[in-house]
Structure 1
Amino acid sequence: MANGLDDVVAAETVLSDVDGLGGRLTIRGHSLPELAGRWRYPQVVRLLLDGFFDDLPDDAKLAQAIGRARVEVFERLQPMLPALVPLDVYSGMRAGIALLPDGDTLTDALLLIAAPAVLTPALLRGKRGSPAIVPNPQADHAADMLRMLSGTDTSPALATALDTYLVTVCDHGLNASTFATRVVASTQAGLTSAILAGLGALKGPLHGGAPGPVIEMLDAIEADGNAAGWLRAKIARGERIMGFGHRIYRVRDPRADVLKAVVRQLGGAGATGRRLAFAEKVEQTALEVLRQAKPSRSIQTNVEFYTALLLEAAGFPAEAFSNVFAAGRVAGWVAHAREQQTTGRLIRPLSRYVGPVPDLVA
C-alpha cells in the first residue's frame, strides 16, 4: 500500500501536470513561464474553466463578470462582517464563503472566485477598526484586492506582482486541498461545499499555512545575526526549514523562480530591496546547510519562500498569507470540482483494517 497515496493515480485531468523530476508545471497545455506575468488572472480563470460551463464568456466579458461578482459578494456578506472579524482572518474568510449559494452554475463559481479577494481585505481592515471598502467592478482583480486593502489605488507594479502570484498558484496537480475538493465534488455536492473542503485542507501548516512562518524565520535569523548557526541549530532539533523542500519536486520549484523575479522587480533601494537582498543570502546559506546536513536528499527552494516576500511587500500580514493563496487557488478548485462532477465518479477508496478481530464462533 502506498503510504499517503504516493504514486497512486486518483484522477485523470486536463487541468495541470506537475513534473517533479523535471521541475515543470503545466496548466492546460501551457508552461508556467508562458502564463505568469503574461496572462492576467481572469484570463487564466477562463483557461481553467473552459469546457466546464456552457455559458463561459470571452476574456473581456469574464473579467467584467468577476468584477460584478466581487460587488455581489460584498453586498451579500458586508452585514456579516461584524460577526466574522473577531475570528482569525482565515476562519473569517472560510465562514463568509460558507454563506454563499451552494450551486454549480457559472454565477456560483464566480462568486466563489471573487470571495477571498473581497473578504480578506475587508476582514483585515475590520481588525484595524477601519470600514470595508466597496469593490470597483471595473478594476483589475488583483489591483482591486490591493485597493480594498489599503484604501488607495496601488502602483501598477505591485498590482502586476500580485496578479502574477495569483496566476502562479492557480493550480498545482492533485495536492491535498485539490484532492479534498474533488472528493466532495464527487458526491455531487455544490461548488461551495467542495471549495470549503479545499479551504479546510489549505489551512494546515503542511500546505497553504506554510508561507507565514517564512517571515518569522527571516526575522529570527536577522535578530540572531548568524544565519548558518541558526539554521544548523534548527535542523539539529529536527525542525523544518520553512520555504525549502517539496513533496513532489526533487529539483527547484519552478514557481519559486517566477516569484523571485517578480520580487526583484519590486526591489530597488527601499525596504523591499533590502529585504530581498537579505532573503537571498539566507536562501543560499540554507541551501548549503541543507546540502551538508542531508547529503542524500535534494532539498531546494519552494514556492513558499518568495511568496512570503511578495505578499509582505504587497502589504498583507503573515496571518493572511494563506487567504491570498486561496484567492489564487480557488479558480483551480472550481475547475477540478466541475471536472469531477461532469467526468468522474464517486471517490471511494478502500482501507485495510489492522485492528483486533472479534471471535466469530462462540
Structure 2
Amino acid sequence: MGSLSEIYSKLPDSMDDLPPPPNAEAVELADFRARHWRSPVTGPLKPGSDAHKRAMADMFRDTFNPYRPSVIAWPKLDPATLHKVVSLPIWDIAVQTEGKARLRMAAYAALIDDPDVKDAISRNAWEENRHKEVLAKMVAAYNIPMAPEPPYIEPKDVEWAYLVTGFSECVDSFFAFGMFELAKRSGFFPQELTDTFEPIMQEECRHILLFANWLAWYRATMPWWRRPYFEAKVLAVWGFLIYERLSLVRTVDDKGQVHTQDNNFTVTGTKEVANIDITLPDFMDLCLQEDDRRFAGYDSRLLRPKAAPFIARVLRGAGRCWEFASGMVKANRR
C-alpha cells in the first residue's frame, strides 16, 4: 500500500516526527482548537451537499492536535497502581484494534475519489496509527505483557471493514467516555495518567463525529439502486458487532501466559477502573452526559452518532424498571 506518508496525506510516518511544541501556551491552544470548531458557512449543512462535505472535512483538519498526545511523559506509578493498569484485560485488544483501524481506514481512503473526504479519512487513519504508537509506548513504559500482534492484512471487502471499524468506534467510544470520567472522579488512577489519555479520548470524539457525517454524506450521494444493498450490509455489521461483544477473546503472550480479553469492557469494566459502586442506570447517565460534553464544542449542524446514545437510554430505562420492580418485591417481603 505504499509508505505511511503517502497514505496519510502528507503527515509524518511517526508521531515522534511531529514538531515539538514551542511552549505550554501552544499546547493549551492546540488542545482548545481540537475541542471547538464551527463552520463559517451560514445556513443548514444538509448531508450530501458540498457545504456539508467541506464542513466535515474542514472540521477534522482544523481540529487536528499537532502536539498532544505526541508529547508524553509517562508518570511513575506506585506498585498498587501499576498492578491495576497491568491487570486490565484490554491492552491486547486495544493495540490490535488500533492496528486494524489504521489499515482499514487507509485502505478505504485509497478508494475514495472525492479529495475532501479522502483527506479526512486519510487523516483519521494517521491518528489511529498515532493511538497505536501511544499504546505501544505505554506498554513498553509499564512492561505490560502482551500477546504477539497478528499480521495486519488489508481487508478483501474494504467497505465492510471500514463500516465495522466506524460503528465499533461509535459504540466503544461512547461508553469509554463514561468509564474514563468515572476513573477520573474516583481517583482510582493518578491524575497524571488520566491527563495523559485525555487528548486521546477527545480524538475519539472527533473520529466518531467524522464517521457519523461521512455515513450521512455517503448515503445521500450514493445511487438509489445501491441503497438497499448498503443498508443490508449495515444491518449485517451490527449483527457482527453484537456477536463480537458477547464473546471473550483468549490470547497467549510470548511467555505462554493466557490472557482473556473482554470485547465489551467499555460497558462491563466499571469496577476495574473505579473504586466506587455505580448502578447501570447511573453509568448510562454518566455516559450520556460525557457524550454531550465532548461534542458540545463542535458545530451543532454536524450530525452526532445516535445508535450508542439510543442503546444507553434503553439500558437506562430497563435498569430503572428493574430497580423499581426489585424495590417493590423487597418491600412486599417485609
- Taking structure 1 as the reference length, the TM-score comes to 0.24
- Taking structure 2 as the reference length, the TM-score comes to 0.26
